[in-house]
Structure 1
Amino acid sequence: MADHSVIGTVRAAWRAWPAVARIAAIYVAARVLTTLLMLAVGAGAGSDSRFGADASPATYVLGWDAQWYWLVAVSGYPTELPVDDSGVVSENAWAFMPVYAYLAKVVGFGSWGLGALLISLVSGFAACLLLHRLLRARVGDRAATWAVVLFANSPLAVLFQVGYAESLFLALLLGALLCLALRRWWALYALIPLMGYTRPGVLAFALLLGLYGIWRWMRRATDPLPVREIVHVIALGGLAVVVGFSWQLIAAVVTGRADAYLETELAWRRGWVPGIESFVPFEGWVRAAELWMRLWGLPEWLGYVALAVLVIGAAAGLLSRSVRRLPVEVRLWSASYILYLLAVFFPQSSTFRLLLPLAPLWGAAPRSRAGRSATLVLCLVGQWAWTAAMYGSGNTFWQVP
């Protein structure tokens, strides 16, 4: 009886805390756990790891794609695209957007790595606050808080502590979704360009705005749609489209090649499937389905079956009861982003990282205590496995975050 009384008192005290204090406690605890995990992974790493034996978390901050962002910050973008011996464009900095790279340079006061770490950490906390606010009105405080717990401890949570732009993009994205839900239109005129020049994905937000406009139009009898809001939705959608394609134009002007950006992106894809001549929407998933079956020694037709199952499963998930409980802005964003990935992405070792913008779907996590606890355990196990593979023993083509 006494134990139950103590537990009840602790729970009551926890619920009495302001949301920002509870989320701060959750986020700090999660970052401590991730740091301990990074230390353990580094201590267990062998000399054949990309980062060497006994690598520290500070080493991981500057690992993998962080090197590209650092290169952008110190050297800018090439005016002439690098090419290989056959004249094909090779990997270069144009694949990486400038906001995170240059912001880390400013924040770090001479240490780009320090600036990158601070931005990732602070952005991760901001993303947690915004996620809670976005979900709370629809699913309640308890479910929204659990969504933050799972998000902060998710399998790729190490990205909150390394030099990747994902953390900043998530904060901007969740802020934009919250502004859309609250219909604070003017803030979106700033957030959309910031998103677009932080990380690819703003074209999915343009699709979201189109779907949102249709949804509002269909509900105008019960949810009035004044002309000024129609103008905002159309203008913001147009802005997202312009920003989404502007990087291609900027790269073309600076390098003198109209296909500079697409060829740069294809350089990474050609590392997996040589001989690709041009970008074809939706082709990446088909090529990948074939590739992975060959790598695993399985017949290619199984890849097509797996792809069909994946697409049907994603659609079923978006239509599930747990997802339908989420704000409509979250559901439309999730559908838009999944379609965007199907159109432009080539599934490879970075696939799980590319799924991070679907973070609002953590609000659809199990609602029972056992289900939430089991999901948290799976998240922590996944975090260890992913960090160990990508950072601890990372040294080959399928171990790039």
Structure 2
Amino acid sequence: MAQRVLIRGLRGWQRMPVAGRIAVIYLLSRLVTTGFFALAAAGSSASSRFGAQPDLGDYVLGWDAQWYWTVAVFGYPAVLPVNEAGQVIENAWAFMPVYAYLARFVGLGDWGAGALIVSLVAGFLACLALHRLLRPRIGASAALWAVAFFASGPLAALFQVGYAESLFVLLLLVAIDLASRHRYGWLCLVIPAMGFTRPGVLAFALFLGLHGISRWVARHRDPLPPSHVVHIVALGGLATAVGFSWQVIAAVVTGDPGAYLETELSWRRNWLAEPGAHFIPFEGFVRGAEFWATQWGMPAWAGWVILAALVVATGLALLRARPVRRLGADIRLWGASYVLYLLAVFFPQSSTFRLLLPLTPFTGALAVPRSRVYRWGMLLVCLLLQWLWILAMYGSAQTYWQVP
């Protein structure tokens, strides 16, 4: 009897449309995440940032969600806030407007409800976009497993809180898919939306440049019409312009040419006693390597060695790892572009894990091995890491490194 039910269930699953299977996976994943949040809330103490026994709505509005709420309700400051030393402090200019205002529109006055809806819907659509991107590269079954890893992964809680990551990843997956299919016209709409959702569009500008070079090199087996050359160059220019436009907008509104960069640097003062008065590319990761090495009781130079080893290992994985090579040139070029972007502009701290979410296409590499034991084991690892992330960032939330 049980065997018949199981067989019927498997046949029903196989006959179900792909979108239906992805919906089931996503729904089950969200139920698990909700359970994790409930467990974290039940164990939360008075010393936690969220207090004793917070409700799930407190988590939706926690951490950076407060900044997006501030943007939606109050807009951006015309005068930059400063401390007693005259240094710019944290303010809303570090957060892009699309997610904030979209959540306000969807929520009809209840920003938290709107943010939850936008994140949930964008997460599901991102699962569909991920499957569409990966299926031609690794096959239907592996692509579905990649969706399961993504929906249940270590950072899957971001689909249920007021963060812009799920919307950005959706737009990014669509953009990579459009570029890989040479449907460049639609990118004129996607790039500005992506650029004003969260930082990262400059990495996409670099990707477009590398994509164009890749197509030029392969033009003998994959023709490169002049119209495609024009599109790629123009889109690269558009992505670059959008990437720098927020700095210009902040400068015009505040009257301070360095308003945006000074705002971003203000967050580093939570970690470094002397973060530097001006932005210098790649300085953040170099200083961060020194900081974390000393925090772990090692000399500063050990941090540089660890950073260099991580960069070399990442490069080798992109170039040589067989499962990664299965993903194709465009996904690998995006990975190289985004990693280089992170190294150039960010300071490594606990939020760095969240900043890795745009590398979502590489879940396809994790799904390539066909062993059922491996795939189910990887899914359990994803869920375990998700629980640990929720517990640290929302359940405990007591120390300087517990910032999602």
TM-score tier after normalising by the smaller chain length: over 0.9
The aligned counterpart of 1:71 is 70
What is the CA distance between 1:179 and its match in structure 2?
1.1
Between 177-186 and 47-56, report the one with greater CA deviation: 177-186
For 1:187-198, what aligned pairs fall within 5 Å after superposition? 187-198=186-197
SS across alignment from 1:365: helix
Q: Which residue is 2:364 aligned to?
A: 363
Q: How far off is 1:395 after superposition?
A: 2.5
User: What is the DSSP-based 3-state SS (H/G/I as helix, E as strand, rest coil) of the residue aligned with 2:85?
Assistant: coil
**2:52 maps to amino acid:** A
- The aligned residue for residue 308 of structure 2 is 308
Q: SS at the partner of 2:93?
A: helix
Mapped to 2, the partners of 1:222 and 1:249 lie a distance apart of 42
1:27-38 counterparts in 2 under 5 A?
27-38=26-37
How far off its partner does 1:277 sit? 1.5
1:194 partner amino acid: A
- In the other structure, the counterpart of 2:210 is 211
Is residue 372 from structure 1 mapped to residue 375 from structure 2 by the alignment?
Answer: yes
Q: Please state how far the C-alpha of 1:313 moved relative to its aligned partner.
A: 1.3
Q: Provide the C-alpha distance between the structure 2 equivalents of 1:28 and 1:312, rounded to a whole number of angstroms.
A: 38
Q: Partners in 2 of 1:249 and 1:25 — Cα distance?
A: 44
Deviation of the 1:184 alpha carbon: 1.6
1:82-161 alignment, distance < 5 Å: 82-161=81-160
Deviates more, 1:370-379 or 1:36-45: 370-379
**1:285-364 to 2 correspondence within 5 Å?**
285-319=285-319, 320-364=321-365
Query: How many residues were matched structurally?
Result: 400
Aligned to 1:182: 181
Matched AA of 2:301? W
Whether 1:390 aligns to 2:393 is yes
Could you tell me the TM-score, scaled by structure 1's length?
A: 0.98
Quote how far apart the aligned CAs of 1:15 are: 2.0
Q: How far apart, in 2, do the equivalents of 1:5 and 1:318 lie?
A: 45
Distance 1:224 1:292 in 2: 48
Q: Distance in 1 between matches of 2:7 and 2:104?
A: 47
1:107-138 Cα offsets, whole Å, 9 max, x none, are 10010000000000000000000000000011
> C-alpha separation between the residues in 2 aligned to 1:80 and 1:96?
16
Cα distance in structure 1, aligned partners of 2:208 and 2:9 = 43
Question: Which residue identity does 1:222 align to in structure 2?
Answer: R
Q: Is the 8 A contact 1:47 1:53 kept in 2?
A: yes
Q: 1:135, 1:327 within 8 Å by CA — same for their partners in 2?
A: no
The residue identity in structure 2 corresponding to 1:285 is F
Write out per-residue CA displacement over residues 314-335 of structure 1, whole angstroms, 9 at most, x where no aligned residue: 1122121100001322111111
How far apart are the structure 1 equivalents of 2:7 and 2:87?
65
The amino acid across from 2:285 in the alignment is: W
In the alignment, what sits opposite 1:237? 236
> Higher mean Cα deviation, 341-350 or 362-371?
362-371
* Amino acid across the alignment from 1:334: G
Q: Which residue of 2 aligns with 1:223?
A: 222
**Residues 308 and 3 of structure 1: is their aligned pair in 2 closer, same or farther, counting only changes over 3 Å?**
farther
Misfit runs of 4+, over 2 Å: 2-13
| CA distance in 2: counterparts of 1:143 and 1:12, whole angstroms | 19
1:186 Cα deviation from its structure 2 partner: 1.5
In 2, the alpha carbon distance for the partners of 1:340 and 1:122 equals 28
Q: Distance in 2 between matches of 1:365 and 1:183?
A: 26
Deviation at 1:4, TM superposition (A): 6.9
Separation of aligned partners in 2, 1:111 and 1:102: 12
The CA RMSD over aligned residues, in Å, is 1.2
CA distance in 2: counterparts of 1:29 and 1:329, whole angstroms: 31
TM superposition shift of 1:203: 0.3
1:8 and 1:362 map into 2 onto residues whose CA distance is: 29
Q: How much has 1:8 moved relative to structure 2?
A: 5.1
- 2:45 is matched with 46
SS in 1 for 2:162: coil
Once the two structures are superposed, what CA deviation does each residue of 1:157-216 show, in whole Å capped at 9, x if it has no partner? 110000000010011111111111222212100000000000000000000000000000
Question: For residue 46 of structure 1, what is the amino acid of its counterpart?
Answer: S
Shift of 1:301: 2.0
Is 1:83–1:89's contact at 8 Å kept on the other side of the alignment? yes
Alignment partners' CA distance in 1, 2:236 and 2:129: 22
Which ranges of structure 2 fall in alignment gaps of 5 or more residues?
none
Between the aligned residues of both structures, percent identity stands at 60
Distance in 2 (alpha carbons) for counterparts of 1:338 and 1:231: 27
Deviation per CA, 1:25-73: give whole Å up to 9, x if none: 0000000000011001100111111101111211100000000000000
Q: Partners in 2 of 1:6 and 1:306 — Cα distance? A: 52
